[in-house]
Chain A
Amino acid sequence: MGRRIVITPKVTFEVPVEAENISPDVFANLSLDEIKKLEVYEGNRKRSLGELFEVSEEEGEGEVTVVLDGGFSKVCRVGEGMSFGEILVNGDLGSFAGYKMRGGKITVKGNVGGWLGAHMVKGTIEVFGDAGDHVGASLRGLRKGKGMSGGLIVIHGNAGAEVGAGMVKGTIIVEGNCGPLPGYAMMGGNILIKGNCPGKAGARMTGGKIVVCGRIGEILPSFYIDSIVPSVKVKKVKYEGPFYLFLGDALEDIKCGGRLYVHVGNNPHLSEFKELLEV
Chain B
Amino acid sequence: MEIIIKNGFVYDPLNGVKGEVMDIGVKDGKIVDLSEVDPSKAKVIDAKGKVVMPGGVDMHTHVAGPKVNSARVMMPDDHYNSFVKIERGVHRSGTGKRTPSTFLVGYRYARMGWTTIAEPASPPLKTLHTHEELDDIPNVDKLCFLLLDSNRILLEYLSEGDLDRATLLVKWLLDATKCYAVKIVDPGVAVLWSLGKGYGLDIDDEILPYNITPRDIVVGLCKINQRLKLPHSIHVHCNRLGIPGNYETTLKTMEAVSHLSNGNINIHITHAQFNSYGGDSWFELRSAGEEVAKLLNRSNHVSLDAGQIDFGTAITMTADAPFEFALYHLARWKWGGAEVENEAAAGIVPFKYRRRNFVNTVQWCIGLELVLLAKDLWRVVLTTDHPNGAPFTRYPKVIALLMSKRYREEMFKRVSSKGLKRSVLPSIDRELDPYDIAIITRAAPAKLLGIEKFKGHLGVGADADIAIYDLNPEETDFSRDYEKVKAAFKRALYTIKGGEIIVEEGRVVKEVFGSTIAVKFSDGYEEDFLKDLKERFEKYYTVSFSNYWIPEHKIRKLRYVSCG
Contacts and interface: CB of A to CB of B under 8 A. Distances in A.
A139 B333 contact: no
Interface string B75-100: 11110100000000000000000000
Contacts of A139: 76-77, 80
**Is chain A's interface secondary structure helix, strand, loop, or mixed overall?**
loop
A142 B75 CA distance: 8
Contacts of A141: 74-78, 334
Interface in B57-81: 74-78, 80
A141 B81 CA distance: 12
Contacts of B80: 139
A235 interface: no
Interface in A12-38: none
Interface residues on A, range: under 10
A141 B76 CA distance: 6
A67 B383 CA distance: 55
A112 to B, nearest CB: 21
A143 B76 contact: no
A208 B78 CA distance: 28
Interface in A122-145: 139-144
A141 B313 CA distance: 13
A140 B74 CA distance: 10
Interface residues of B, number: 8
B66 to A, nearest CB: 19
A143 to B, nearest CB: 6
A139 B77 CA distance: 8
Nearest to B77: A141
B268 to A, nearest CB: 34
A143 B334 CA distance: 8
Interface in A120-170: 139-144
B282 to A, nearest CB: 21
A139 B334 CA distance: 15
Interface in B133-185: none
A144 B350 CA distance: 13
B122 to A, nearest CB: 25
Contacts of A144: 333
Nearest to B73: A141
A191 B5 CA distance: 67
A35 to B, nearest CB: 26
A92 to B, nearest CB: 25
A270 to B, nearest CB: 31
Nearest to A252: B332
Contact of A143 (B74, B78, B333): B333
Nearest to A253: B332
Query: Taking each of B77, B78, B333, which has the highest tally of chain A beta carbons within 10 Å of its own beta carbon?
Result: B77
Contacts of A140: 76-77
Nearest to A44: B86
Interface string B328-340: 0000011000000
A270 B281 CA distance: 47
A26 B334 CA distance: 37
A141 B315 CA distance: 13
A140 B75 CA distance: 9
Contacts of B77: 139-142
Contacts of B334: 141
Nearest to B86: A44
A121 B75 CA distance: 24
B319 to A, nearest CB: 23
Contacts of B333: 143-144
Nearest to B352: A143
A268 B80 CA distance: 44
B317 to A, nearest CB: 15
A12 B19 CA distance: 65
Nearest to B333: A143
A142 B77 CA distance: 6
A142 B76 CA distance: 8
Contacts of B78: 141
Nearest to B334: A141
A238 B8 CA distance: 79
Nearest to A140: B76
A211 to B, nearest CB: 28
A139 B76 CA distance: 9
- The 4 lowest CB-CB distance pairs between A and B, nearest first, are A141-B77, A141-B76, A140-B76, A142-B77
14 contacts: A139-B76, A139-B77, A139-B80, A140-B76, A140-B77, A141-B74, A141-B75, A141-B76, A141-B77, A141-B78, A141-B334, A142-B77, A143-B333, A144-B333
Given A141-B75, A141-B334, A144-B333, 11 more contacts: A139-B76, A139-B77, A139-B80, A140-B76, A140-B77, A141-B74, A141-B76, A141-B77, A141-B78, A142-B77, A143-B333
